[in-house]
Structure 1
């Protein structure tokens, strides 16, 4: 109920009014049945803009920090994600990754749409980074098609660190479904998972027009943070 109120009465109309999103390729999203919407991740605004423009409900795997924030912004964010039925994911790896995989598969096995950002975190600079293989594992185990999605312009309206987004038009693109039945029974093969993930990321890159970086965004962020910390120590 909360999701429907947000989408059709409050948040959806507001986002359409402010950002005038142009949506391309909605015909590629199946009207029923399980599918994965795999997109680039440029901005916090992506969490709201993309699912509000899709006719069907989209359940996202969202980082657990969104559900436990403090302060006014943190409480409002947590209320939105909980009320909209999104799923918290621990991104620490290991068993946490297995739990995220199970959560995603549960959504798909109910015949629903699952939203996921294969990069695992927001792009630090607007470029497209290497995808994590969880999206491939879920697609193969659930026998679900993957719909590539590209957000265009959301980095400009709300780059990392910006609290209030700029009012500017954005574009949301969906590409033809990617189908991986040729890898039936190979969902435990690491090479296959990497190949499938790279194929998904290539489709996203074609849609978005982003420069591709064959590194994990989280590693790039960590290196930058270490560099900043080192410079601060030197200047202290």
Structure 2
């Protein structure tokens, strides 16, 4: 049986039973409205499609391990899942109060680049332990040429300390829509491939090197599969 491939927006935004816990009415309303509108926009402008190897857990901590192609990536990942995702945001973005209110409502995790890496990792671990799904880009930065870069192993400690599953994701086509050399994105075709979950009990039984190798291999496989479909135009 083939994994489901999703495109058009559903009749409701990604708000499972636990999604309203700890969120303000403003945050819930903003997230729901933006999710519906931006997903419709992404489908029409970017031919947005996403495939899952298996269903994601609707609640509990989850580490979303994704390739990094463009500034669109956090948005694309959020539009893919029927649960809220948290991404990291520079603490300087919180200086403008109205914008700070928006990104806080969208579950951003403030990261101070001048503080220690340990402090930043503790913040992410705490969010995972609180039951959030957190996006990590293990390449560390956006790709310069659209190709997959080397994965850094910092995410291994996060998953082990928080005791949460890892889901690998490959994004293809976002670099072509918005490369680093362009000021604004252009229309195109974008596909996301979600792999199988690496469960906490599996993670606990593996060495750090084995976890990094397993996730690297899976993301490479997903990247190849997504790129083959993208290049052939099989996005529907």
Q: 1:32 aligns with which of 43, 51, 59?
A: 59
The question of 1:181 aligning with 2:176 is answered no
| TM-score when normalising by structure 1 | 0.73
**Contact persistence 2:138–2:154 (CA under 8 A):** yes
Unaligned 5+ runs, structure 2: 1-26, 226-236
Mapped to 1, the partners of 2:176 and 2:221 lie a distance apart of 19
Mapped to 2, the partners of 1:50 and 1:183 lie a distance apart of 23
Per the TM alignment, residue 83 of structure 1 is displaced from its structure 2 partner at its CA by: 4.1
Per the TM alignment, residue 158 of structure 1 is displaced from its structure 2 partner at its CA by: 0.4
Q: Which residue does the alignment assign to 1:164?
A: 184
Mapped to 2, the partners of 1:131 and 1:44 lie a distance apart of 18
Q: 2:175 aligns with which of 155, 160, 175?
A: 155
Q: Which residue does the alignment assign to 2:49?
A: 22
Aligned length: 197
User: What does the per-residue CA deviation read over 1:204-226, in whole Å, with 9 as the maximum and x for residues that have no partner?
Assistant: 1110129xxxxxxxxxxxxxxxx
Q: 1:122 aligns with which of 142, 158, 170?
A: 142
Per the TM alignment, residue 26 of structure 1 is displaced from its structure 2 partner at its CA by: 6.5
Per the TM alignment, residue 151 of structure 1 is displaced from its structure 2 partner at its CA by: 0.5
Mapped to 1, the partners of 2:168 and 2:62 lie a distance apart of 10
* Inter-CA distance 113–163: structure 2 relative to 1 (3 Å threshold): same
Per the TM alignment, residue 178 of structure 1 is displaced from its structure 2 partner at its CA by: 1.4
* Inter-CA distance 69–120: structure 2 relative to 1 (3 Å threshold): farther
Pairwise CA RMSD of aligned residues? 2.8
Q: 1:146 aligns with which of 166, 172, 175?
A: 166
The question of 1:47 aligning with 2:74 is answered yes
Spell out the pairing of 1:68-107 with structure 2 (5 A cutoff). Answer: 81-91=103-113, 96-107=116-127
Mapped to 1, the partners of 2:95 and 2:184 lie a distance apart of 17
Unaligned 5+ runs, structure 1: 187-191, 211-236
Q: Which residue does the alignment assign to 1:3?
A: 31
Structure 2 residue matching 1:28: 3-state secondary structure: coil
Mapped to 1, the partners of 2:214 and 2:91 lie a distance apart of 27
Structure 2 residue matching 1:127: 3-state secondary structure: coil
Q: Which residue does the alignment assign to 2:229?
A: none
